[in-house]
């Protein structure tokens, strides 16, 4: 049964993968294999809602015909990106099963995964970013105690100049801010696969973060380098759900269009497109965003000039932060 070999496969993947497999990656592989097993079981007349479906599908059920039938159903019910990922997982799994002597033929050879849509993410214009910055930075009368303008402006500044993901921003610690001897300030970000990248923070973003750090210490006392950087007004760590709710509030009050997907992720698209327009080459943008594959970054169109070290300093978001600095004075 598939359930008898899945853990061995995941252990083998962890050994072969350069950085190993974290819990999230292991769960993703298992989820994809379970999706295939559930569909194969349903196609064979079984209950698609069975609990331990991996224990119900034999390895011998991974035939060319069975996989093609299951693939048609999965393709109809899943987004192209999800289907593409699941095909990739199954190919890794069946190849391993062949190497281990469990299968004689790879049943995925005749499957062609759908291409991911190449639609360019919209992002926000400079004028829309300006309106969002003013909303994030300006104290409002009569609002609840959860409002914290200095923190919100610092969050806005980091999101718009670095393009970090929501989870990456929420996992930042006080020690993630590094002051270099030459005066440069770097942001140490832990991305997908626990891969680290160091991003230059432009002076305008540093100013916003420093104002927030002063208020943070005044509210909650001296901070250790391992303490979470961005907190709720209750003192608890900011989580992606709360971050997206915060950004949705900015969007509503600023009257700017809501972008598809998670609210905070639109800053990532805006940052990438701003760098591209400023002439930053795609490989440099790839390094800033932490993309594994250059093709992922390539959707933000072609670009030339500048290097990774100076890329963030070219962002038009700096103008937005300068223009709105008077709001918090």
Rounded Cα–Cα distance for residues 282 and 204 (Å): 24
Instruction: State mean pLDDT over 314-326.
Output: 76
Q: Which of 16-30, 50-64, 109-123 has the lowest mean pLDDT?
A: 109-123
189 by DSSP, 3-state: which? Answer: strand
CA angle 89, 99, 21 (to 5 degrees): 45
Reading the block at residue 171, the tokens are 């996992």
Tell me the H-state helices in 138-239.
149-162, 166-170, 203-220
Rounded Cα–Cα distance for residues 10 and 15 (Å): 9
What's the pTM value of the predicted model, to 2 decimals?
0.58
Rounded Cα–Cα distance for residues 104 and 327 (Å): 69
pLDDT of 110 reads: 77
More confident residue, 290 or 118: 290
User: In this structure, are residues 314 and 279 in contact, taking their beta carbons and an 8 Å threshold?
Assistant: yes
* pLDDT 10s digits, 147-193: 889 999 999 999 998 888 888 999 999 999 999 888 889 989 888 77
Do 132 and 82 lie in one domain? The reply is: no
Given 64, 99, 134, which residue is the final one in a domain?
99
pLDDT of 305 reads: 33
pLDDT of 313 reads: 62
pLDDT of 174 reads: 93
Residue 127 CB neighbour total at 10 angstroms: 10
pLDDT of 304 reads: 32
* Average pLDDT along the chain: 80
Do 74 and 136 lie in one domain? The reply is: no
pLDDT of 50 reads: 77
pLDDT of 150 reads: 93
Do 80 and 133 lie in one domain? The reply is: no
pLDDT of 254 reads: 92
Q: Specify the CATH number for the domain of residue 132.
A: 1.10.443.10
Do 91 and 150 lie in one domain? The reply is: no
Instruction: Answer whether residue 20 shows pLDDT above 80.
Output: no
Do 170 and 214 lie in one domain? The reply is: yes
Rounded Cα–Cα distance for residues 281 and 211 (Å): 32
- State how far the alpha carbon of 87 is from the alpha carbons of 6, 13, 35, 57, 199, in Å: 16, 16, 11, 18, 34
Do 13 and 142 lie in one domain? The reply is: no
SS (H, E, C) 175-202: HHEEECCCCCEEEEEECHHHCEEEEEEC
User: 174 lies in a domain?
Assistant: yes
Sheet holding 177-179, edge to edge: 177-179, 185-190, 196-201
Most confident range (mean pLDDT) of 75-79, 88-92, 100-104, 151-155 is 151-155
User: In this structure, are residues 316 and 278 in contact, taking their beta carbons and an 8 Å threshold?
Assistant: yes
User: 302 lies in a domain?
Assistant: yes
Range of the domain at 13: 2-99
pLDDT of 80 reads: 73
Given 63, 84, 99, which residue is the final one in a domain?
99
pLDDT of 303 reads: 31
pLDDT of 281 reads: 65
Rounded Cα–Cα distance for residues 153 and 155 (Å): 5
More confident residue, 312 or 259: 259
141 by DSSP, 3-state: which? Answer: coil
Number of domains in the chain: 2
Banded model confidence at residue 91, pLDDT cuts 50, 70, 90: confident
Instruction: State mean pLDDT over 217-244.
Output: 92
pLDDT of 121 reads: 61
* pLDDT 10s digits, 104-144: 888 888 777 666 555 556 678 888 999 999 999 887 765 55
Do 68 and 182 lie in one domain? The reply is: no
Q: Would you call 58 exposed, middle or buried from its count of C-beta atoms within 10 A (0-12, 13-18, 19+)? A: exposed
User: Which residues, 6+ apart, have CB-to-CB distance to 166 below 8 Å?
Assistant: 240, 243, 244, 262, 264, 265
Do 171 and 210 lie in one domain? The reply is: yes
User: In this structure, are residues 122 and 152 in contact, taking their beta carbons and an 8 Å threshold?
Assistant: no
């Amino acid at each position: 049964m598939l359930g008898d070999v899945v853990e061995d496969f995941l252990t083998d993947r962890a050994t072969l993968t350069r950085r190993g497999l974290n819990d999230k990656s292991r769960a993703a592989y298992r989820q994809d294999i379970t999706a295939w097993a559930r569909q194969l079981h349903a196609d064979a007349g079984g209950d698609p809602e069975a609990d331990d479906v991996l224990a119900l599908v034999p390895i011998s059920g991974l035939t060319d015909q069975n996989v093609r039938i299951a693939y048609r159903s999965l393709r109809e019910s899943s987004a192209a990106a999800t289907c593409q990922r699941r095909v990739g997982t199954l190919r890794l799994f069946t190849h391993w099963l062949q190497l281990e002597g469990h299968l004689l033929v790879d049943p995925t050879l005749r499957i062609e995964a759908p291409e991911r849509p190449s639609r360019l993410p919209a992002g926000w214009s400079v004028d829309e970013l300006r309106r969002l910055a003013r909303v994030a930075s300006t104290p409002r009368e009569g609002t609840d105690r959860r409002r914290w303008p200095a923190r919100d402006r610092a969050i806005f500044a980091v999101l718009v100049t670095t393009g970090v993901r929501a989870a990456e921003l929420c996992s930042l610690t006080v020690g993630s801010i590094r002051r270099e001897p030459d005066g440069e300030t770097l942001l140490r970000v832990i991305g997908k696969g626990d891969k680290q990248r160091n991003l230059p923070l432009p002076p305008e973003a540093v100013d916003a973060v420093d104002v927030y750090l002063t208020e943070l210490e005044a509210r909650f006392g001296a901070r250790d380098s391992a303490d979470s950087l961005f907190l709720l007004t209750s003192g608890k760590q900011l989580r992606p759900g709360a971050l997206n709710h915060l950004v949705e509030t900015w969007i509503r009050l600023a009257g700017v269009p809501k972008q598809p997907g998670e609210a905070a992720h639109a800053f990532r698209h805006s940052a990438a497109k701003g760098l591209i327009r400023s002439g930053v080459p795609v490989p440099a943008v790839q390094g800033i965003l932490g993309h594994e594959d250059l093709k992922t970054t390539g959707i933000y169109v072609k670009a030339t000039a500048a290097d990774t070290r100076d890329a963030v300093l070219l962002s038009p978001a700096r103008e937005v932060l300068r223009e709105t600095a008077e709001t918090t004075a």
